[in-house]
Chain A
Amino acid sequence: MKYAMLIYCVLSGLASCAQTVATVDVSLTMPSVALVDILPSSSNSVTLQMTAPTEAGNAVGTGTSNNANWLIFTSAVATGASRSIKGDVIGTLPAGIRLRLDVSAYVGTGQGFTGGNSYVTANKYLSNTPVSFIDNIKGAYTGITYGSSGFQLAYSLEIQTYANIRSGTSNVTVRYTMVDN
């Protein structure tokens, strides 16, 4: 019994000094990301042309829409934060004419577009005042393949006030901005 106690005491005393564990702390900071771009079929330029009536008494035609551009983006946000993509027009739209934008639902193999995230809003018209076309963007990336990744954009013209319409050509720029909500 004496021996057992002796062994126990010596073992306990020295074993307590032994360091059997070592630790390494690892930290990784994920940054905020906000990138938006347009994927065009060839160039970013969109030409919309109203058509003159061929018979007296008929209305001016609004021409055909253009859906050659796709909007793509990448976003990373903090928990609880979200963003939206707003569009506005730089320049002066022709009098009496509205520039309509129809944003199709997301297609592609990216992430962040389910469960009410990155949804297309009900806004339809571009003006000099930025309005949100895609909202509640959190962590998301669309992919970058033209025609199968992102939000297809369809531009068209609508007559707003017929009496104000004048012939001529106008050039405007549509700007998309990803903003924090």
Chain B
Amino acid sequence: MKYIIAFCIAGLSAFGASAQTISINSGTTWSIPSLSSTITKAGKNYEHIETSSASQTLLKVNALIGWSISAHLSTTSNWDSALKLYVQRTGNGTGIAIVSGGTTYIQLTSTPQVFFTGLLNLLAHRDNIPIQYKIEGLSVMLPVKTYTTTVTYTISGL
């Protein structure tokens, strides 16, 4: 009997650990090789914001009960702090879990912060959660080059 109980505990715990996953269905990159708006008059600076499509990234989440997705910039060595990268959740995706938060832009930094949370996923996943990005702070004061960074999403909880 003891063995059976122990095995059940281990199995359930292991399931919880393995079920808590996050992956990307599409949109593992957002590349802006040329700006959406150019400066057409001498004397001006950029006045626009670069915005991705509303479903630039589609996230897939698996978890058991309660979970939280945090986001941060994991590589910033080729980024400039004047460039402000924001992220927001533009929909719920599909699935039965209750998803909340993240529907307004938050500015990403190198410190992880809670992006959105979910509750009661049970045996179903939450799929195709649409994510949108925007970049503010475009300026001619930034040296001409290609800037790169990595947005890291981390799931935690059960």
Contacts and interface: CB of A to CB of B under 8 A. Distances in A.
Interface of A: 2-3, 6-7, 10-11, 13-15, 17-33, 35-37, 39, 72-79, 81, 110-112, 139-144, 149-150
Nearest to A75: B140
B32 A141 contact: no
27 contacts: A3-B6, A13-B14, A18-B17, A22-B22, A23-B74, A24-B153, A26-B135, A26-B151, A28-B147, A29-B34, A29-B147, A30-B35, A30-B142, A30-B145, A35-B39, A35-B41, A37-B41, A76-B140, A77-B143, A77-B144, A110-B43, A111-B141, A112-B141, A139-B140, A139-B141, A142-B42, A144-B42
Interface in B4-62: 6-7, 9-11, 13-15, 17-24, 27-35, 38-39, 41-45, 50, 57, 59
A71 B93 CA distance: 53
Contact of B29 (A10, A24, A39): A24
B150 A20 contact: no
A24 B43 contact: no
B148 A79 contact: no
Contact of B27 (A24, A28, A72, A141): A24
Contacts of B3: 3
Contacts of A110: 43, 45
A14 B150 contact: no
Contacts of A141: 43-45, 140
Contact of A20 (B7, B21, B24, B31): B21
A29 B10 contact: no
A97 B90 CA distance: 68
Contact of B11 (A2, A10, A15): A10
B154 interface: yes
